[in-house]
Structure 1
């Protein structure tokens, strides 16, 4: 039966997977088995996090293992036989927890209550791997490599039901990101920030404001302090539990006096006809302005007057393209008591299979770090500024915008290895794990949690254990190899700006336009934050942040580049994805019924990625032939070539029609495919039918005119 749109949210509300237990698994020597005679306990009253942790573990035993343990609140004199006890040991290192397992008692202790909760999640992880309520007897101390790890909602834009927060916490992520336009106001409308802070706090999770507030005053303006006091002062006074705030150039630009910039906010640099007033300079949000430190110092002063411990995070994403010395000059004058956030892989120039590539936001084909990150990380280290990075390690990038996660674990491992080097060398300590495409629990997020903890775990070994858990020992080799094929395919999946603002953003919905319908808009509901054509353009070769590709290089060079990208980058990716799909497709039906649905979702995800890659290849060849057709129509000497060009375009159109039709069952089976929180649905059945209608017009009406 087909899922309705948004039905995937019901799955996200299941924090613990049902029926994980394999009743054939029995405890071995030096192992402990939990049963209904056990209790999960806290001592005394008053700690909401420990209470939540203990009750979560009780629910886990019931839902995942079929054992009904009791929650207990113990007095100091109560016995501890057959008890899992939560507690706090302040002598432990910050964020660390200790697990002690004996024959009839388990002690979970954290440096604080949030750390103790993570200890309980580790118990769950271990029993999930064992597929039974069985744990090894012994003691271990664990701690995270990075803190904070911050993430946006995957349920919906700035939508955090308790169960989604719980799932985020289970995956070792310690902070939520919420877009903030004003107190209790997000781009989606009203949200009670204090309620969210309270609900997240029960799971030991913090909340950061991602600022969307308009910064309309220069710090030298005599009205600036009062203006920003009414913004950030009021926000932190009304919401004192906010852990911090994220500032990124495009969202916090102010009327800078830096002569390299327009000196005004981007939205004000517009004439009535939409053209730019000043065309030869960048907006302040896209440049390392010399007066950003003064602006940041003023905001910091106001916020810290309300919350002395607020984490002020300054993200340099928008000007990684700028000359190194100008970027570093900014960092040299920033306040030292802030956090500097630097994107890990962007702005790197590479040659892949002979094709020039540049990493745009955000990609996994290049594991990083880029020279932009390295240069700013080095400067932050010199100045003693706390270093964070945007790494997208929740499991997704903009490589394909409308999928839940990228099932390429070996590529993620390559990034994690480089991140650890940055952790050791530069002091990288905090992560932004996603942009607004948000969080979806997956094998990638589970692997990341293990990889980002001490003592370290071999990720290849852990990958196999997770695959055995979900697919069985008999299928493990094939599944791991298929995931490796996916990872190999991503190495050449080198998306450009026009790919990310085109077919990679929306998948097989992307239209193949000829000459009619060039003003078409992607259908969107009125509540979509980035609906319509705001962050994707239906005519390939255009994006809202670049000139048309044909304006950047001559037509012949453009055609050659597009053909090279298709042939030497995306066609090799397609071959790997096809092999992975062929390896995985037969396996779900060999599994026990309780394991089949999730296995089929992975097959569907791989299939969707394969089809998206077909769309990317097809649109590149389509754009080449469209240019040939435009040239032939304009040049009498080329007019006899028109029928051959049109014939090639007809073949491309018919192939893409079949590709779109092949995608419909995938998005009907899994309603998370085709969705992205800021855009809502862009590749559901309705959008694919919209694309097919446009394509049918081209096939039936436009192309026949040129086949004669």
Structure 2
């Protein structure tokens, strides 16, 4: 049975980079294995901050997880087993970024890294192998590996911009090599807090991690203005003065607020596109492939390369994937050489659900990808010779479920990883933005991804099985794999619309069901913000809101297909949960995954109830007669009572896993407090709102 946790206990758990006592002392080495002695020398024939940091990490792993003492030295001692570490440019096909060769012999191990990050990854891989073996034994022979990508960017599992040493170590262990910081100026994060970018970059560098920034500030000078270069020199020059080791800058339309002169667009920011409170009908430049973006990008490139000739300047097309392909490709054809193009992997993809058309509104695992938008821009980037990155959402999370640590759909993730590998081969995809501000959480899915994105790659289903056996044992690994198959099928029934991703699925079962219109202000009807949240309740709708974006069928049409799809999704989740619950002796890891799946199932049920409640409200508004209205109010009461039971059933689920119901930019939304807030909201509806409706319905004209 899982123990009750306090809020944020999961952060304390994440401070433990290496799990204690992984070693099964009943195991003995095979003849073809090297067994670590009780004490082992780690000899650094080549040294650097990255190599030394990784070597220290490895000694901590040996002691914490395997009960082995390791000590670091630069001196060899003939005849004594040791791990010898050096750099080498003689690795053949593995002379590449993060490339390495491990040679396991009867009397020790040699590690040759093409670069210092390759050495670090080699040591982390030894940890992975021993974790799978559950003992400090390694098969003799030669292992050669390298990264498929030169950019794998993520955000902290501990919270917005919370890059502690432990967070950096966890990121490095997953094979990721860069982090994002969103800032207002060189000293202030988007959250409004002071940040020392230089110190962060120096600390991150020791783990082989680069720092990228996204600057949320008005880029108010058009490149044609005479003082434009001076303006951008001031804007970006200060960044490099403060942080000389800054690796890259991401240019994002909605954040940068470029004042384009393209006649097809309106003003920036977007709220300026109203006259007398009437929309002008024009799109803000941040959401359109404007014809003068290339000149703007070229000017910023000119400025920043003065400070760092190797700076990675990323131009993101995330905001206008809905625009005509012709306009998007024309823009790419005119972008300056030497930049990187960042295109979203799955968004804007249209597909059929029942008798309606759906659109991937935001990052989703329901569609493995790639979408047509990404494919069109990937082809254009390859033709131009521009470095191609993707907002791939490959680190275990999407916006399908906003407040879970990861989505346990192993087989569906494999399908995505295989498509990403294919994009790397066919279009030269070289980098991945692994997640949005919801960050990543160390999980079996992250480790599966690591298996997928270092070559050579063995069949990923085999890697998944290895990880399941490691975590759950031989017998329960079979159940876990079968459950993941159910979960993977379930996610394909998820409708990735704004109604879901900005509604109940963003925050979970604490999402309210209002019968009336109580949302006079944006914060009305929403769960109260946590004081220190960056976005808080600003990034979800407080009531069911129909999306009329023109990319999918009318909300009132597709809702009739979405409800049965979600019901099928819930049924499949329950079938997977039943498989996990059939374990005769589940360990805590299996119980934790089962608990996660239950939280997701209750979120799905809330999503169904929200849609059914919305339909009843619409029917009530045109009931036509009192008898029909009375019946609708009875159905509404039944639905609210059913949702109340759903919320009550979720409380013990979040009590035993403090990570559930939390997202870095919103903080807690569906912890016990949030769920009890939801109960109070439902009680208000049942006691007061329905009573008012029934009172009005009882009136007669006689």
Shorter-chain TM-score: what band?
over 0.9
In the alignment, is residue 136 of structure 1 matched against residue 131 of structure 2?
no
TM-score if structure 1 supplies the norm length? 0.94
User: Does the aligned pair in 2 maintain the 1:54–1:86 contact within 8 Å?
Assistant: no
5+ residue gaps, structure 1: none
Question: 5 Å matches for 1:255-654?
Answer: 255-269=259-273, 275=277, 278-515=279-516, 517-518=518-519, 519-532=524-537, 534-541=538-545, 558-567=555-564, 569-587=565-583, 590-591=585-586, 596-632=587-623, 637-654=624-641
* Separation (CA, whole Å) in 1 of partners of 2:607 and 2:560: 11
* Separation (CA, whole Å) in 2 of partners of 1:382 and 1:137: 44
User: Does the aligned pair in 2 maintain the 1:50–1:87 contact within 8 Å?
Assistant: no
Q: Which whole-Å deviations, capped at 9, do the CAs of 1:228-267 have from their partners, x for residues lacking one?
A: 1111111023211111111111112311000111133325
User: Does the aligned pair in 2 maintain the 1:49–1:204 contact within 8 Å?
Assistant: yes
The 3 A distance-change label for structure 1 pair 80 and 149 is farther
Bigger Cα displacement from structure 2, 134-143 vs 245-254: 245-254
User: Does the aligned pair in 2 maintain the 1:522–1:531 contact within 8 Å?
Assistant: no
* Separation (CA, whole Å) in 2 of partners of 1:197 and 1:118: 20
Query: What is the SS of the residue equivalent to 2:315?
Result: strand
* Separation (CA, whole Å) in 2 of partners of 1:369 and 1:547: 24
The 3 A distance-change label for structure 1 pair 320 and 26 is same
* Separation (CA, whole Å) in 1 of partners of 2:120 and 2:472: 28
User: Does the aligned pair in 2 maintain the 1:364–1:411 contact within 8 Å?
Assistant: yes
Query: What is the SS of the residue equivalent to 1:190?
Result: coil
User: Does the aligned pair in 1 maintain the 2:155–2:180 contact within 8 Å?
Assistant: yes
Q: Which whole-Å deviations, capped at 9, do the CAs of 1:282-301 have from their partners, x for residues lacking one?
A: 00000000011111111111
Q: Which whole-Å deviations, capped at 9, do the CAs of 1:641-667 have from their partners, x for residues lacking one?
A: 011111111111111101111111122
Query: What is the SS of the residue equivalent to 1:425?
Result: helix
* 1:236 aligned residue: 240
Query: What is the SS of the residue equivalent to 2:536?
Result: coil
User: Does the aligned pair in 2 maintain the 1:674–1:682 contact within 8 Å?
Assistant: yes
* Separation (CA, whole Å) in 2 of partners of 1:222 and 1:198: 37
Bigger Cα displacement from structure 2, 663-672 vs 113-122: 663-672
* Partner residue of 2:160 out of 142, 157, 160: 157
User: Does the aligned pair in 1 maintain the 2:50–2:207 contact within 8 Å?
Assistant: yes
* Separation (CA, whole Å) in 2 of partners of 1:285 and 1:160: 29
User: Does the aligned pair in 1 maintain the 2:526–2:542 contact within 8 Å?
Assistant: yes
* Partner residue of 1:101 out of 95, 104, 114: 104
* Separation (CA, whole Å) in 1 of partners of 2:13 and 2:389: 31
In the alignment, is residue 70 of structure 1 matched against residue 73 of structure 2?
no
Q: Which whole-Å deviations, capped at 9, do the CAs of 1:464-507 have from their partners, x for residues lacking one?
A: 11111111101121110001110010011122112111101101
TM-score if structure 2 supplies the norm length? 0.94
* Separation (CA, whole Å) in 2 of partners of 1:598 and 1:39: 33
Q: Which whole-Å deviations, capped at 9, do the CAs of 1:78-104 have from their partners, x for residues lacking one?
A: 436211122211334122011011011
* Separation (CA, whole Å) in 1 of partners of 2:562 and 2:151: 38
* 2:224 aligned residue: 220
User: Does the aligned pair in 1 maintain the 2:395–2:440 contact within 8 Å?
Assistant: yes
Query: What is the SS of the residue equivalent to 1:509?
Result: coil
* Separation (CA, whole Å) in 2 of partners of 1:70 and 1:407: 35
| Shift in Å, 1:598 | 2.7
* Partner residue of 1:27 out of 10, 13, 29: 29
* Partner residue of 2:211 out of 162, 184, 207: 207
| Shift in Å, 1:74 | 2.0
| Shift in Å, 1:559 | 4.1
* Separation (CA, whole Å) in 1 of partners of 2:645 and 2:63: 46
Bigger Cα displacement from structure 2, 129-138 vs 219-228: 219-228
| Shift in Å, 1:308 | 0.3
In the alignment, is residue 116 of structure 1 matched against residue 119 of structure 2?
yes
User: Does the aligned pair in 2 maintain the 1:387–1:429 contact within 8 Å?
Assistant: yes
* Separation (CA, whole Å) in 1 of partners of 2:84 and 2:508: 48
The 3 A distance-change label for structure 1 pair 135 and 573 is same
User: Does the aligned pair in 2 maintain the 1:80–1:105 contact within 8 Å?
Assistant: no
* 2:8 aligned residue: 6
* Separation (CA, whole Å) in 1 of partners of 2:228 and 2:90: 45
User: Does the aligned pair in 2 maintain the 1:541–1:548 contact within 8 Å?
Assistant: no
5+ residue gaps, structure 2: none
| Shift in Å, 1:407 | 0.6
Q: Which whole-Å deviations, capped at 9, do the CAs of 1:144-188 have from their partners, x for residues lacking one?
A: 111210011221111111011101110111111111211132123
Query: What is the SS of the residue equivalent to 2:625?
Result: helix
Query: What is the SS of the residue equivalent to 1:703?
Result: helix
User: Does the aligned pair in 1 maintain the 2:197–2:242 contact within 8 Å?
Assistant: no
User: Does the aligned pair in 2 maintain the 1:347–1:370 contact within 8 Å?
Assistant: yes
* Separation (CA, whole Å) in 2 of partners of 1:366 and 1:264: 33
